[in-house]
């Protein structure tokens, strides 16, 4: 999977409460969740983000609550992938499970400035900052996680295994 | 070299003789948990799998607790999705509000999670059960869905960090202060992906209620699990509740931890975490003058009977400050009933505290005490993120039940010693 888009930059410890505040957890509608994506850190984010844009963040992105509504809202608002210095573990699992591409690259995340254009090859993990003409190699996924990603998420992966059992 | 508790439980669950950190393992799940926010999403994903039945009707726990009693039509609909699924699939452990409570309070209380279990819960504070010696961790709804169908999940075996506590606890200091102090030391990502193992003479002397508080907030240091080795206290708690066999796992003496911390608890005061991260901790003596609007007592962190006793010891004979609203949530119907029997509820009501039915309620800004713009709250809950309890410009200060109650009376963040003598709370 290859993506190209403008990046939106966020800081450290962006928690799932600010990604999708609990006042919107009374719905499971992807469209509704998308409308409130990142609302408590940037109230206008959902309006100004364009399809294919990327999120770039600091350390421990997605910390806190296990709400899958957080990666769902990011994916549903049109963000193509998330690059961070590091991810909180539940968010990391959830993103892979629902098929939201994520990449861990401290250098790419630190160098990036809001509005930079990125090209990302999620399969090889190569991140290219077009604006700064600089390339980075993200940490590779273990083979087993790659299988889940290639299946399109955990549900298609498990469904296939159940069918073959 | 020997294995840690975390490694032993995962090796057992994977049917392997040994495992080591970094290894990916497929394990059986003993308990799979969800609530009214996360289970409806999991149910939708489960239905995509095309599987007729869940893997085990007795090992799936569905607890409506976040937005119950239903706060609006949308949350009523979520609860209905879960209720209908529970009935259709014959899920044994579904808790309607008359017998319910906060998931992480009722599962241990009813003996549904036991030492040595592997538990995944679609709620980040599932790590609470580490206090029983269970490998219990939070996951998302899709992981929950897959496990409901297969009875399996996967883990990367975590490295373990040792947290050793020694010395005599100061008055008004308990599990909440130990874990806040620890998170203050290592940071909210200080144990990211790792197993925290809490031990030492101080931990051995703590009751289960205090131990649950400690393990509960392991996730708030980024950890996968927060384990406490089962001892006589654990076994006394478990024996009278367990309805199935369980297994005790202990770390070998010669294990290597990737980091070790040692705390002299006699130096730890009641601790307050300032907005907007649980790591922003300050000893109560250094808090200064901070006026507050609301106090919240309860939650999966501090909603057990000993927490309520602590709060009642401070409220007894005192009135809530006229500038403050106080909402108290017992963690379960059993805790509520016990509080009634002990006369605690009468103390609360006479002081001017509003006592609610068990719910996660205002902890996550859901209902029952949401904050307005600019308001400040002292809360015995676990998170003080931006907007956690309401308006993004409101503030939450995390503390133990003594501090919360004393603050309610004083109208500002206050030390319990301003209200009640140490010998009166012992």
Report yes or no on B285 lying in a domain.
Answer: yes
B376 strand-pairing partners: B395
**In a shared domain, residues B13 and B133:** yes
Report yes or no on B421 lying in a domain.
Answer: no
ipTM: 0.97
Report yes or no on B425 lying in a domain.
Answer: no
Give me the average pLDDT of each 10-residue run along chain B (426 residues). 96 97 96 98 97 97 97 97 98 94 98 98 98 98 98 97 98 98 98 98 98 98 98 98 98 96 98 98 98 98 98 98 98 98 98 97 96 98 98 98 98 97 86
Report yes or no on B306 lying in a domain.
Answer: yes
Quick one: pLDDT at residue B1?
81
**In a shared domain, residues B188 and B282:** no
Mean pLDDT of chain A: 96
Q: How far apart are CA B329 and CA B327, in angstroms?
A: 7
Report yes or no on B407 lying in a domain.
Answer: yes
For residue A121, the distance in angstroms to the closest alpha carbon of chain B comes to: 25
In sequence order, the 6+-apart residues with CB closer than 8 A to the CB of A77 are: A34, A35, A37, A45, A46, A49
Chain B residues close to A106, C-beta within 8 Å: none
- SS (HEC) of B75-141: HHHHHHHHHHHHHHHCCCEECCHHHCECHHHHHHHCCCCCCCCEEEECCHHHHHHHHHCCEEEECCH
Return the structure tokens found at A64.
Answer: 């806190």
Q: How far apart are CA B48 and CA B36, in angstroms?
A: 19
Nearest CA in chain B to A12: B189
Report yes or no on B420 lying in a domain.
Answer: no
**In a shared domain, residues B96 and B75:** yes
Put simply, the answer to whether B189 touches A15 (Cβ < 8 Å) is no
For residue B189, the distance in angstroms to the closest alpha carbon of chain A comes to: 6
Q: How far apart are CA B17 and CA B229, in angstroms?
A: 20
pLDDT tens track for B339-350: 999 999 999 999
- Residue among B344, B25, B379 at smallest CA distance from B370: B379
Quick one: pLDDT at residue A138?
96
Chain A residues close to B71, C-beta within 8 Å: 26
Three-state SS for A16?
helix
Residue B381: give its domain's CATH number.
3.30.499.10
Quick one: pLDDT at residue A143?
87
Q: How far apart are CA B375 and CA B256, in angstroms?
A: 46
Quick one: pLDDT at residue B270?
98
**In a shared domain, residues B32 and B82:** yes
**In a shared domain, residues B215 and B284:** no
Chain B residues close to A67, C-beta within 8 Å: 37-38, 140
Q: How far apart are CA B211 and CA B127, in angstroms?
A: 12
Put simply, the answer to whether B387 touches A17 (Cβ < 8 Å) is yes
**In a shared domain, residues B246 and B288:** no
Chain B residues close to A30, C-beta within 8 Å: none
Using the structure block, give the residue that is written with the tokens 């995509």.
B48
**In a shared domain, residues B154 and B246:** yes
Put simply, the answer to whether A68 touches B222 (Cβ < 8 Å) is no
In the listed set B263, B291, B317, which residue is the last one of a domain according to the structure?
Answer: B263
Q: Compute the C-alpha angle A45/B75/B72, nearest 5°.
A: 95
In the listed set B263, B288, B317, which residue is the last one of a domain according to the structure?
Answer: B263
| For testing contact with chain B, the best of A13, A31, A65, A71 (most B CBs within 10 A) | A65
In the listed set B263, B282, B298, which residue is the last one of a domain according to the structure?
Answer: B263
Q: How far apart are CA B398 and CA B404, in angstroms?
A: 9
Chain A residues close to B41, C-beta within 8 Å: 28, 68-69, 72
pLDDT tens track for A123-144: 899 999 999 999 999 988 888 8
For residue B161, the distance in angstroms to the closest alpha carbon of chain A comes to: 16
Q: Give the pairing type, strands B160-166 and B31-35.
A: unpaired
**In a shared domain, residues B237 and B298:** no
Phi-psi region of A162 (alpha: psi -120 to 50; beta: other; left: phi over 0): alpha
pLDDT tens track for A80-129: 999 999 999 999 999 999 999 999 999 999 999 999 999 999 989 999 99
Using the structure block, give the residue that is written with the tokens 């970094």.
B22
Chain A residues close to B388, C-beta within 8 Å: 17, 22
**In a shared domain, residues B22 and B99:** yes
Using the structure block, give the residue that is written with the tokens 């940071």.
B187
Number of domains composing chain B: 2
Percent of chain B with pLDDT over 70: 100
Q: How far apart are CA A121 and CA A128, in angstroms?
A: 9
**In a shared domain, residues B108 and B219:** yes
**In a shared domain, residues B188 and B311:** no
Rg of chain B over all Cα atoms, to the nearest angstrom:
21
| For testing contact with chain A, the best of B75, B140, B367 (most A CBs within 10 A) | B140
The domain of B332 spans: 272-415
Using the structure block, give the residue that is written with the tokens 């409460």.
A17
Q: Say how many C-beta atoms besides its own lie within 10 A of residue B357's C-beta.
A: 16
Report yes or no on B192 lying in a domain.
Answer: yes
Return the structure tokens found at A110.
Answer: 């630190």
Size of chain B, expressed as the number of residues it contains: 426
Q: How far apart are CA A1 and CA B322, in angstroms?
A: 60
Rg of chain A over all Cα atoms, to the nearest angstrom:
15
**In a shared domain, residues B44 and B184:** yes
pTM of the model: 0.98
Report yes or no on B307 lying in a domain.
Answer: yes
């Amino acid at each position: 999977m290859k993506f190209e888009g403008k990046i939106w930059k966020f800081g450290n410890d962006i928690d799932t409460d600010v990604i999708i505040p609990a006042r919107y957890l009374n719905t499971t509608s992807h469209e509704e969740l998308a409308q409130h994506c990142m609302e408590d850190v940037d109230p206008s984010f959902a309006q100004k983000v364009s399809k294919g844009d990327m999120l770039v963040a600091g350390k421990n992105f997605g910390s806190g609550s296990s709400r899958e509504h957080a990666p769902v809202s990011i994916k549903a608002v049109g963000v193509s992938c998330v690059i961070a210095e590091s991810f909180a573990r539940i968010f990391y699992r959830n993103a892979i499970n629902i098929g939201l591409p994520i990449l861990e690259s401290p250098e790419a995340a630190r160098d990036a400035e809001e509005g930079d254009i990125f090209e990302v090859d999620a399969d090889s993990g190569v991140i290219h900052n077009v604006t700064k003409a600089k390339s980075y190699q993200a940490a590779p996924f273990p083979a087993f996680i790659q299988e889940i990603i290639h299946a399109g998420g955990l549900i298609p992966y498990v469904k296939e295994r159940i069918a073959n059992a | 070299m020997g294995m840690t508790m975390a490694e032993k439980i995962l090796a057992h669950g994977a049917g392997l003789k040994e495992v080591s950190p970094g290894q990916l393992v497929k394990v059986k799940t003993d308990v799979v948990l969800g609530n009214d926010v996360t289970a409806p999403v999991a149910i939708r994903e489960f239905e995509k799998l095309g599987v007729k039945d869940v893997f085990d009707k007795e090992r799936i726990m569905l607890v409506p607790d976040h937005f119950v009693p239903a706060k609006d039509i949308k949350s009523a609909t979520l609860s209905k999705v879960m209720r209908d699924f529970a009935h259709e699939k014959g899920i044994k452990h579904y808790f309607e509000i008359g017998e319910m409570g906060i998931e992480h309070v009722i599962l241990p209380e009813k003996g549904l999670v036991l030492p040595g279990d592997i538990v995944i819960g679609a709620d980040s504070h599932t790590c609470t059960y580490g206090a029983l010696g269970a490998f219990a961790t939070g996951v998302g709804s899709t992981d929950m869905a897959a496990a409901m169908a297969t009875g399996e999940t996967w883990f990367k075996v975590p490295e373990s960090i040792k947290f050793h506590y020694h010395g005599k606890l100061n008055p008004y200091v308990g599990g909440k202060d130990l874990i806040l102090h620890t998170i203050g030391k290592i940071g909210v990502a200080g144990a990211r992906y790792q197993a925290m193992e809490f031990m030492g003479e101080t931990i051995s002397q703590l009751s289960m209620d205090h131990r649950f508080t400690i393990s509960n907030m392991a996730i708030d240091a980024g950890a996968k699990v927060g384990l406490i080795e089962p001892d006589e206290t654990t076994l006394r708690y478990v024996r009278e509740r367990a309805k199935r066999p369980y297994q005790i796992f202990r770390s070998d003496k010669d294990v290597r931890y990737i980091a070790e911390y040692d705390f002299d608890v006699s130096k730890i005061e009641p601790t307050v975490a300032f907005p907007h991260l649980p790591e922003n901790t300050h000893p109560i003596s250094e808090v200064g003058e901070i006026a507050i609007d609301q106090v919240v007592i309860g939650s999966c962190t501090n909603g057990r009977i000993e927490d309520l006793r602590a709060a009642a010891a401070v409220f007894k004979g005192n009135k809530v400050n006229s500038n403050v609203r106080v909402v108290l949530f017992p963690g379960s119907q059993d805790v509520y009933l016990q509080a009634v029997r002990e006369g605690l509820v009468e103390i609360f009501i006479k002081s001017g505290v509003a006592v609610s039915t068990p719910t996660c309620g205002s902890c996550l800004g859901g209902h029952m005490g949401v904050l307005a713009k600019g308001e400040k709250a002292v809360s015995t809950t676990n998170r003080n993120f931006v907007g956690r309890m309401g308006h993004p410009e409101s503030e939450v200060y995390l503390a133990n039940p003594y501090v919360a109650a004393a603050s309610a009376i004083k109208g500002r963040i206050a030390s319990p010693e301003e209200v009640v003598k140490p010998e009166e709370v012992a």
